[in-house]
Chains A and B, each alone.
Chain A
Amino acid sequence: MSHSRFLSLSRFRALLIKEFIQMRRDRITFAMMLAVPLMQLVLFGYAINSDPKYLPAALVTTSQDHYTRAMVSALEMTDYYRFEHVVGSVREAEALMARGDVVFVVTIPSDFARKVDRGERAQILIEADATDPSVASGAISTLSTVASRALLRERGITPTEAEANRQLEVVVHRRYNPEGISHYNIVPGLLGVILTMTMVMMTSIALTRERERGTMENLLAMPASPLEIMLGKILPYFVVGAVQVAVVLIASSLLFDIPFVGRMWLLLLAVLIFVMALVLLGYTISTVANTQMQALQLTFFFFLPSILLSGFMFPFRGMPFWAQWVGEIFPLTHFLRVVRAVMLKGADMPAVAFEIAVLAGFILAYAAIALTRFRRTLD
Chain B
Amino acid sequence: MHAIDVHGLVKRFGEKTVVDHVSMMVEQGEIVGFLGPNGSGKTTTIRIMCGLLTPDEGGGRVLGYDLVTEALKIKREVGYMTQRFSFYEDLTIAENLEFVARLYELRPVREHVDRTLEDLGLTSRRNQLAGTLSGGWKQRLALAACIMHKPKLLLLDEPTAGVDPKARRDFWDEIHRLAAEGLTVLVSTHYMDEAERCHRISYISYGKLLATGTVSGVVREAGLVTFVVEGPGLERMVSEIARLPGVEQVAPFGATLHVVGSDEKLLSDSLAVIASRPGVTVTRGDTSLEDVFIQFMSKAQDNMA
A/B interface sample: 9 pairs, CB < 8 A: A5-B72, A14-B102, A17-B99, A21-B91, A215-B88, A218-B82, A221-B82, A223-B76, A223-B104
Hey, which chain B residues are within 8 Å of A223, CB to CB? 72, 75-76, 103-104
Q: A220-B52, A222-B103, A224-B103 are in contact. Are A18 and B91 (CB under 8 A)?
A: yes
**A25 CA to B90 CA in the complex, in Å?**
7
Hey, which chain A residues are within 8 Å of B95, CB to CB? 18, 21
Hey, which chain A residues are within 8 Å of B88, CB to CB? 18, 22, 213, 215
Q: Is B53 an interface residue (CB 8 A)?
A: yes
Q: Is A8 an interface residue (CB 8 A)?
A: yes
Q: A10-B105, A17-B102, A18-B99 are in contact. Are A221 and B50 (CB under 8 A)?
A: yes
Cβ contact within 8 Å between B102 and A214: no
Q: Is A28 an interface residue (CB 8 A)?
A: no
Cβ contact within 8 Å between B52 and A221: yes
Q: A18-B95, A223-B76 are in contact. Are A11 and B82 (CB under 8 A)?
A: no
State how many angstroms separate the Cβ of B23 from the closest Cβ of chain A.
21
**A171 CA to B80 CA in the complex, in Å?**
74
Hey, which chain B residues are within 8 Å of A216, CB to CB? 86
User: Mask for B95-107, Cβ within 8 A of A = 1, else 0?
Assistant: 1001110111100
Number of A positions contacting B (CB below 8 A): 29
Cβ contact within 8 Å between B80 and A221: yes
The A interface, classified by DSSP as helix, strand, loop or mixed, is helix
**A13 CA to B109 CA in the complex, in Å?**
13
Hey, which chain B residues are within 8 Å of A254, CB to CB? none
Q: Is A239 an interface residue (CB 8 A)?
A: no
Q: Is B110 an interface residue (CB 8 A)?
A: no
Cβ contact within 8 Å between A213 and B89: yes
Hey, which chain B residues are within 8 Å of A11, CB to CB? 102-103, 105
**A25 CA to B76 CA in the complex, in Å?**
29
Determine the residue in chain B with the shortest Cβ distance to A11. B103
The B interface, classified by DSSP as helix, strand, loop or mixed, is loop
Q: Is A179 an interface residue (CB 8 A)?
A: no
User: Mask for A200-223, Cβ within 8 A of B = 1, else 0?
Assistant: 000000000000011111101111
Cβ contact within 8 Å between A221 and B87: no
Hey, which chain A residues are within 8 Å of B98, CB to CB? 14, 17
Contact of B90 among A17, A22, A218, A220 (CB under 8 A): A22
State how many angstroms separate the Cβ of A218 from the closest Cβ of chain B.
4
Q: A22-B91, A215-B86, A222-B100 are in contact. Are A379 and B72 (CB under 8 A)?
A: no
Q: A17-B99, A17-B102 are in contact. Are A218 and B87 (CB under 8 A)?
A: yes
Q: Is A47 an interface residue (CB 8 A)?
A: no
Q: Is A3 an interface residue (CB 8 A)?
A: yes
**A361 CA to B95 CA in the complex, in Å?**
38
Q: Is A378 an interface residue (CB 8 A)?
A: yes
Cβ contact within 8 Å between A218 and B103: no
State how many angstroms separate the Cβ of B111 from the closest Cβ of chain A.
15
**A215 CA to B88 CA in the complex, in Å?**
7
Determine the residue in chain A with the shortest Cβ distance to B100. A222
Q: Is B299 an interface residue (CB 8 A)?
A: no
**A10 CA to B103 CA in the complex, in Å?**
7
**A13 CA to B102 CA in the complex, in Å?**
8
Cβ contact within 8 Å between B72 and A217: no
Hey, which chain A residues are within 8 Å of B91, CB to CB? 18, 21-22, 25
Q: Is A1 an interface residue (CB 8 A)?
A: yes
User: Mask for B17-54, Cβ within 8 A of A = 1, else 0?
Assistant: 00000000000000000000000000000010011111
**A21 CA to B97 CA in the complex, in Å?**
13
Please name 14 further chain A to chain B contacts, defined as beta carbons within 8 Å, in addition to the given A13-B102, A17-B102, A21-B91, sorted by A numbering. A3-B72, A11-B102, A18-B95, A18-B99, A22-B90, A213-B86, A213-B88, A215-B88, A217-B47, A218-B82, A221-B50, A221-B51, A221-B78, A223-B72
Within 8 A of B (CB), among A328-379: 378-379
Q: Is B220 an interface residue (CB 8 A)?
A: no
Hey, which chain A residues are within 8 Å of B103, CB to CB? 11, 14-15, 222-224
Hey, which chain B residues are within 8 Å of A220, CB to CB? 52
**A217 CA to B146 CA in the complex, in Å?**
13
**A224 CA to B76 CA in the complex, in Å?**
10
State how many angstroms separate the Cβ of B106 from the closest Cβ of chain A.
10
Q: Which 8 A-B pairs have the closest CB atoms?
A: A14-B102, A218-B86, A221-B80, A214-B84, A214-B86, A14-B103, A18-B99, A223-B75
Determine the residue in chain B with the shortest Cβ distance to A9. B105
**A1 CA to B72 CA in the complex, in Å?**
15
Q: Is B65 an interface residue (CB 8 A)?
A: no
Q: Is A132 an interface residue (CB 8 A)?
A: no
Cβ contact within 8 Å between B76 and A3: yes
Q: Is B171 an interface residue (CB 8 A)?
A: no
Q: A3-B105, A11-B102, A379-B53 are in contact. Are A26 and B90 (CB under 8 A)?
A: yes
State how many angstroms separate the Cβ of A12 from the closest Cβ of chain B.
9
Q: Is B137 an interface residue (CB 8 A)?
A: no
Determine the residue in chain A with the shortest Cβ distance to B99. A18
Residue of A13, A216, A217, A220 with most chain B CB atoms under a 10 A cut-off: A217
State how many angstroms separate the Cβ of A356 from the closest Cβ of chain B.
37
Q: A214-B82, A214-B86 are in contact. Are A14 and B99 (CB under 8 A)?
A: yes
